[in-house]
Structure 1
Amino acid sequence: MSGTLSIHINRDGLHHIDVAQSFETDDSFDIVLENHGAPIHVHLHIDDELSEVASLSATNHYIEEGETEVVPISVRNGPGRGKLKIVTSYGAETSYVDVDIEEHDPKANEILVDEALSKPKPRSPRQSNEASELTRNLPLIVLIVLAVVLVLGVGVLVDWVVALFGAVSVLIGIGVATYFLTQ
């Protein structure tokens, strides 16, 4: 359930703070400070109750215009609750977020693996048919390649008009063979 707490600064005016009133998590999370206006100082503070289970990496942040800063919050153990205080421009505006840290459930992120995954998957009939078709048609493919090489060799030795006629004949043969192979 851990996530991100987004805080928008200067979006609706100078020093304005736009943040959800409450936030719930069961693990460490990030605070994303997004500045929509002029450069600003932002101070973050967690109250005594919340500081028993969580800690901030840094409290004071200077954010340039249009910049975003990510502040990680480490949760040591839970459950716990308290308030996160957000202050802009040395007290010009203040907002609070109720933070509720629930008991971390290690099984919530657990992925169950069935024993059937350890056994190889049987080949589908289609895969088997495709492999046997390729094996069955291999002599025809070799014959086509040899015919093209033969036409090119004849073209080098004799007149190119004769070779062109042979090439067209071979291409028509390849087209007919392909039609029958795909049926």
Structure 2
Amino acid sequence: MSETVSVHINRDGIHHIDVAQSFETDGSFTIALKNHGAPIHAHLHLDDDLSEVASLGATNHYVKAKDIRHVPVTVHDAPATGKLKIVTGYGAETTYVDTNILEPEERSRSIPVDEALSKPQGSRPTDSRRGRKSTQSDTLKNLPLVILGLLALVLVVGAGFLVDNGVALFGGLVVMIGLGVATYFLTR
């Protein structure tokens, strides 16, 4: 179904409105005001029946020369039938569009499941934190990082003893705790 009502203004003369006589949708839609001539004001109005289930953000719209203005119509409920009123030139020209808002089609809320999901998967353990298989090679990949951390620890503790500074020793302690936490999470 069409989701846009195309309204041609000033195509066949000043204030002239050219639009389909009826429109049907099953949800929110847009009114496209296409101006083929001089700048113009257009007034849009939903009759009582339509305004109970749909709303316009604004009713008066200025459309520049040779420009298109898109006006959203939000549908809150369905079904409904009514008239969309389009006015140009402050009442010089008025046109009505029979509008039918249908009940939305019932969409399936189920998720298709492949038959392969019913069969047992491989026997390797799965690392649930990352959603992938854990292997011993993952631990070996982290070994250079652990060695580098130990080397940094030795350098910081050595510098702390060398300068006999409590702050440097405290820094070494913080690095050692950080290294312990990192090692725990990397080898877990």
- Same fold, TM exceeding 0.5? yes
1:13 and 1:81 mapped to 2: Cα distance?
Answer: 31
2:64 and 2:93 mapped to 1: Cα distance?
Answer: 18
Q: Structure 1: which 5+ runs fail to align?
A: 119-183
Higher helix fraction (1 or 2): 1
Inter-CA distance 47–111: structure 2 relative to 1 (3 Å threshold): same
Q: Matched residue pairs, number?
A: 118
2:61 and 2:33 mapped to 1: Cα distance?
Answer: 9
1:117 and 1:55 mapped to 2: Cα distance?
Answer: 47
1:39 and 1:111 mapped to 2: Cα distance?
Answer: 50
Deviations 1:82-101 (A, max 9, x none): 00000001011000000000
SS in 1 for 2:50: helix
Q: Would the aligned equivalents of 1:2 and 1:27 in 2 still touch at CA under 8 Å?
A: no
Inter-CA distance 103–90: structure 2 relative to 1 (3 Å threshold): same
Inter-CA distance 91–117: structure 2 relative to 1 (3 Å threshold): farther
Amino acid at match of 1:18: D
Q: Which residue in 2 is equivalent to 1:103? A: 103
How many angstroms does 1:19 deviate by?
Answer: 0.2
Amino acid at match of 1:19: V
How many angstroms does 1:104 deviate by?
Answer: 1.0
How many angstroms does 1:115 deviate by?
Answer: 1.5
Q: Would the aligned equivalents of 1:82 and 1:98 in 2 still touch at CA under 8 Å?
A: yes
Amino acid at match of 1:95: T
Amino acid at match of 1:29: F
Q: Which residue in 2 is equivalent to 1:12? A: 12
1:63-102 to 2 correspondence within 5 Å? 63-102=63-102
SS in 2 for 1:107: coil
How many angstroms does 1:114 deviate by?
Answer: 5.6
SS in 1 for 2:104: coil
2:3 and 2:110 mapped to 1: Cα distance?
Answer: 19
Q: Structure 2: which 5+ runs fail to align?
A: 118-188
2:111 and 2:42 mapped to 1: Cα distance?
Answer: 43
Amino acid at match of 1:16: H
Deviations 1:94-133 (A, max 9, x none): 000000000112418x797462697xxxxxxxxxxxxxxx
2:43 and 2:82 mapped to 1: Cα distance?
Answer: 17
Q: Would the aligned equivalents of 1:32 and 1:71 in 2 still touch at CA under 8 Å?
A: yes
1:1-183 to 2 correspondence within 5 Å? 1=1, 3-107=3-107, 113=112, 115=114
Scaled by the length of structure 1, what TM-score is found?
Answer: 0.60
2:88 and 2:77 mapped to 1: Cα distance?
Answer: 29
Q: Would the aligned equivalents of 1:7 and 1:19 in 2 still touch at CA under 8 Å?
A: yes
